[in-house]
Structure 1
Amino acid sequence: MRHHGRRGERCGRRRGAGALVGALVGSLVLGGCSPDSEAESARTSEAPASEAGRAASAAPAGPTATLAFAGDVHLEGALRGLSERPRSTLGPMSRVLRGADLAMVNLESALTRPGTGAPAAKELEDPSLRYWFRSPPSALDLLDRSGVDVVSVANNHGADYGAAGLRDTLAIAADSPVGVVGVGADPTAAFTPHRVEVEGLGVGVLAADSSPLESADPTWSVREGAGPGLATARTPDAPRLLAAVRDSAATDDVTVVYLHWGEEGAACPTPLQQDLAASLAEAGADVVVGSHSHQLQGGGLLDDAYVGYGLGNFLWYHGRQAETGVLEVEVSADAVEGVTWRPALIPELGGQPQPVTGAARGEAVADWRRLRGCTGLEPGPGAAAEPGGQPDPPQQPAPTQQPDPPATEALPAYRSEVRRIGPAVRRSMLGSSHRPTCPVPLPDLRQLRMSYVGFDGAARTGAMVVHEDVAEEVTQIFRTLYRERFPIRRMRLVDAYGGDDDRSMAANNTSGYNCRTVAGTDRFSDHAFGRALDINPVQNPYVLGGEVLPPAGRAFADVDRSPGARAVPGVIARGDVVFRAFASRGWEWGGDYSEPDWQHWSAP
């Protein structure tokens, strides 16, 4: 955006031929574009709802384009075969993708025909965590029907079937209208951007893998003279990628980088992500986005660049990390002009993401905004009322305000599951909610998955870790809360917040195990033993002297919690269903402490 760009015929939306075609035929072919009537209809029939509103400054002098980004697409489980169905798409969120001038996702698998290549060695990966996935050529047809223009295969599954698989990837890409980036016959091709003209702007799109290396084979990190490989960027200086960004910034109006990066299960970016983002912004990248953590992460401005650290799963074979969406970034040749988050949810059993609508949509956008808190990024354009500007309003209505009545239709049957801590959860817990010095070893803990009722009255599924001694009892308690429709804002492992109790409380997260000390002491909390729970911390804050934790709980600090008091949604009161479910089993309530901790329950 800080440079002159190529100018061509103005056209609403369409694709230029990808860099991979150049890798095969020895030249980069730039195709024209033609109007897409369906996309134009989608764009004009629904005014975009910006996450921060549009900038208050004057309209940009030149043309603008809307770029749309979604996370990981994975055609496994019940989704296997979806791409072979003639009219199949990524679901209703395809309308958002089609409405953009350029849309991009990550394909979380090798793109290769069945039977091509042998499974890669993956000798650097834990044997219990070695997986191999492939998607057929029809995957690109599915993406094309869904409005996707560019797809990255630079990830920890892109080379699952070795050099033969990558050669097949290049051949498949050469025949597709969807640009495939992050792979090439040699380093020059792998780091050549997909280029396209949209709305009169020249856009260059690059991709690279920055996830932990699973094999030393050159297919996983392309090298001179070693054959095809993936583009990678595993250090903050990432010389090949930074050079490619500088070249694009000197040629294209807008430079986009899509990365596979971060720590699985983490809601906050790692230091490597932050350092690499800074290097890319300095090199001239205008938009830097990525996925890999299977978890939404925050986004915002880094100098003039927009960075979206984590887009989560998108089309996925399970809904255990259900929150997803499409990130729209409006750009001109000079600046990021606006940012919009279109929230969606992956169904519990997996499948096509469904748009979040109504009051829940505003809550989902607010949740996404709050993820910026641990990124060090500034709010997007026009974000005066966001964190970093003026304070956000409380997550839930104050006690004197009544929310819309929840849905009253019949709930699905309550479901719960108690399981041992598996490899993926273990990895997310280590260094976050658990350390070797903690008083309870991981084998003594259990992960729970349980139904609960959200503030919108709908059934949801949450996750929690507790000690094995109380695991079954906790599922029975939450069965009672579910039956009585006690609303819970969210229920996620505290590792989604890096093990940070303040962040978990601020997100109004109901949680269990967290190896931490009692505030202001070096004594382990009951949570460190897996024998304590916190429920709806905003509606049930911890009142410590003159401080209310979390701060958004101040509106609920003085709610009447005596027997028979008027019920406020999400608030725990003496004698109510929550009190009875826990107290009847001998659990102690923090509301009885001299400095009340209304959210807290601990096992005897």
Structure 2
Amino acid sequence: MATTRCTPRRTGVLGALVASLVLTAACSDGGGRAQTGPDAEGGPGSGGRAGARAAEAAGTTVTLAFAGDVHFEQALGDLVQQPGSDLGEVSRPLRAADVAVVNLESALASRDTPTDKELEDPDQRYWFRSDPAALGVLARSGVDVVPLANNHGADHGLAGLRASLTAAADRARPAVVGIGRDAEQAYRPYRVDVRGTGVAVLAADASPRESRDPVWAAGEGGPGIAAARPGDAGRLLDAVRRAARTDDVVAVYLHWGEEERQTPTTAQRGLAERLARAGADVVVGSHAHVLLGAGMLDDTYVGYGLGNFTWYHGRKSETGVLTVELRDGVVVGDRWSPARIPPEGGVPRLLTGRERDEAQVWWRDLRRGTGLAPTDGTTPERLPAYRARVAPIGEALGRRMTGASHDPATCPLPLDRLRVLSVPHVGFDGQPRTGRMVVRASLARDVVQVFERLYDARWPLRRMRLVDAYGGDDDRSMADDNSSGYNCRRVAGSDTLSAHAFGRAIDVNPVENPYLTTGGVLPPAGARFADLDRTSDAQPPAGVVHADDVVVRAFAEVGWEWGGTFSEPDYQHFYRP
């Protein structure tokens, strides 16, 4: 069916306003959006919901919200059967956006017809299916567009794909994209006019193909999913170029990346660059089950990974909603609404207060190493000069330490062989702070140098207090995520004096970097960080130590070693042999 554009591309404020006034009668859906999609009868690629949301200025500002992978397996299947159900509080940032996009990682079918997955590792073969009523849950949650172009969209073969197409055609909202009865429909964008700004949303699967069944790539003889795998991205690029000629904003949602890898792959970077050159304004995606960095690639906003969103387990629990703001078709800002999936899985809850603030800093920090820039084009505010202080243990501090971290009768070092350091560091909120730590006098200058490296790198520390603030109780200090040095104590579970008793050990962010013992995780709050990738190419959350990172290198430069290599890894622990 032919499409009539209601506004010219990138008309600017006045042009968009005039066009919207002149063409309202022909194009309006009754609210602030005008449907311009090619399928007036509904189904994949059709237009969106009525009713405009508030804008900063007429016809100039548009917000797009994106969230990661969703399906309705196991306990989540009950949600579909509950009348009027939605995704709860995480629906708020979705409803607040002009266009909201969430990836449904399953077929929409009422019965199982699993296809072979002979190209997938036998231990990694999963088949997901959601009741078609799941679209109603997503619609009530504020979702406008649902990509099905992913490594589970064709899990149930041709029968499942046809069922998904039927389910999509039966509803005006949300629109389903990335699948089709032929290649033309699979690569067709969802189109909507938002207060005079034309928005197009496309989707494609760029994850490894799991089966030779033709349904895994539309255009191979019939129905299928849109694909953009290495060497096979031509159709998607052509579709983006066509959309860029007529639409003010072109967004692409991809299923891409490597599972559980928190850095973008070479293939992701290359595809993002090609889509940017083709005219995409926003390129985001999911698949890795973990969050990845986001920011600007020249004029294109790229989000490399949105993680799981509503999921049947909480092993990869960090999630959220990404909102991208565009003005006159140009990205001007982004906003992260962090959330967390419960340990048992299910619908995530929005974080609030300090948890929210810290999660937002962590999410921003994921941009490191991606080559992406902040949306405002600025660099972080300059930190004050690093000025550390080294001082002997004074009389007042000595009295405080005695009976807490120090016992003159049993400890190997007298107080005059220790020094107290006042050390600048950056907090999880990105702001400079000053903490205190006691170490061996002969190592004080080396430790000052280490923390200068971390300060310059803006590597965050939760807090740095003398362990005496906790009565010398290491468990309490760890539970408070406190980075500390000297403490005349024994190794946990033994009679051997710890390296801390000799002033030559430091524990860093114990919650983010727990000690993994045969008896459990110390501190217990560190359990959710226990299984993180800590290899040299990892991109873990802020404050997490991993191999060959700035923390490990800074300590190594002054002859210290990392406990993360122990048979029972002690990720927080650094020591001078």
Query: With structure 1 as the length reference, what TM-score do the two structures score?
Result: 0.66
Q: Which has the larger radius of gyration?
A: 2
Residue number in structure 2 paired with 1:438: none
1:167 and 1:133 map into 2 onto residues whose CA distance is 15
Distance of aligned partners of 1:250 and 1:18 in 2 relative to their CA distance in 1, 3 Å threshold: closer
2:345 and 2:159 map into 1 onto residues whose CA distance is 31
Residue number in structure 2 paired with 1:359: 354
1:93 to 85, 90, 94: 90
Residue number in structure 2 paired with 1:428: none
CA contact (8 A) 2:147 2:177 kept: yes
SS in 2 for 1:373: coil
Distance of aligned partners of 1:3 and 1:200 in 2 relative to their CA distance in 1, 3 Å threshold: closer
CA contact (8 A) 2:215 2:223 kept: yes
2:188 to 164, 189, 192: 192
1:197 CA drift (Å): 1.1
CA contact (8 A) 1:13 1:34 kept: yes
Distance of aligned partners of 1:169 and 1:387 in 2 relative to their CA distance in 1, 3 Å threshold: farther
1:499 aligns with 2:545: no
1:35 aligns with 2:70: no
RMSD of Structure 2 on Structure 1 (CA): 3.9
1:143 and 1:261 map into 2 onto residues whose CA distance is 22
Residue number in structure 2 paired with 1:472: 518
CA contact (8 A) 2:33 2:51 kept: yes
CA contact (8 A) 2:536 2:548 kept: no
Number of equivalences: 446
Distance of aligned partners of 1:462 and 1:192 in 2 relative to their CA distance in 1, 3 Å threshold: farther
Residue number in structure 2 paired with 1:158: 153
Distance of aligned partners of 1:462 and 1:348 in 2 relative to their CA distance in 1, 3 Å threshold: farther
1:305 CA drift (Å): 0.7
2:427 to 394, 398, 402: 394
Residue type matched to 2:51 in 1?
P
1:12 and 1:319 map into 2 onto residues whose CA distance is 39
1:512 and 1:283 map into 2 onto residues whose CA distance is 38
1:251 and 1:147 map into 2 onto residues whose CA distance is 26
Residue number in structure 2 paired with 1:126: 121
1:231 and 1:454 map into 2 onto residues whose CA distance is 48
Distance of aligned partners of 1:256 and 1:368 in 2 relative to their CA distance in 1, 3 Å threshold: same
Kindly report which structure 2 residues correspond to 1:38-437, keeping only aligned pairs within 5 A, or say none: 40=53, 63-115=60-112, 118-176=113-171, 177-224=173-220, 226-235=221-230, 238-381=233-376, 383-385=378-380, 393-395=426-428, 400=434
SS in 2 for 1:369: helix
Residue number in structure 2 paired with 1:509: 544
Distance of aligned partners of 1:24 and 1:534 in 2 relative to their CA distance in 1, 3 Å threshold: closer
2:243 and 2:361 map into 1 onto residues whose CA distance is 34
CA contact (8 A) 2:283 2:301 kept: yes
1:90 CA drift (Å): 1.1
Distance of aligned partners of 1:342 and 1:590 in 2 relative to their CA distance in 1, 3 Å threshold: closer
Unaligned residue ranges in structure 2 (runs of 5+): 1-7, 387-424, 437-477, 483-509
1:18 and 1:174 map into 2 onto residues whose CA distance is 14
Residue type matched to 1:212 in 2?
P
Query: With structure 2 as the length reference, what TM-score do the two structures score?
Result: 0.69
1:368 CA drift (Å): 0.4
CA contact (8 A) 1:73 1:314 kept: yes
Per-residue Cα deviation, 1:375-414 (whole angstroms, up to 9, x for no partner): 11111126443799x9995327766579xxxxxxxxxxxx
Residue type matched to 2:227 in 1?
T
Residue type matched to 2:203 in 1?
A
1:34 CA drift (Å): 2.8
1:333 and 1:398 map into 2 onto residues whose CA distance is 37
Distance of aligned partners of 1:89 and 1:62 in 2 relative to their CA distance in 1, 3 Å threshold: closer
1:14 CA drift (Å): 5.5
CA contact (8 A) 2:71 2:310 kept: yes
Distance of aligned partners of 1:383 and 1:532 in 2 relative to their CA distance in 1, 3 Å threshold: same
Per-residue Cα deviation, 1:131-180 (whole angstroms, up to 9, x for no partner): 11101110100000000000001011000110111111111111112110
2:340 and 2:127 map into 1 onto residues whose CA distance is 26
Unaligned residue ranges in structure 1 (runs of 5+): 45-58, 403-451, 536-588, 595-604
SS in 2 for 1:374: coil
Per-residue Cα deviation, 1:422-443 (whole angstroms, up to 9, x for no partner): xxxxxxxxxxxxxxxxxxxxxx
CA contact (8 A) 1:339 1:381 kept: no
1:20 CA drift (Å): 6.9
1:193 and 1:301 map into 2 onto residues whose CA distance is 23
Of the structure 1 ranges 227-236 and 94-103, higher mean CA displacement relative to structure 2 is found in: 227-236
2:92 and 2:319 map into 1 onto residues whose CA distance is 15
Residue number in structure 2 paired with 1:565: none
CA contact (8 A) 2:294 2:302 kept: yes
CA contact (8 A) 2:66 2:323 kept: yes
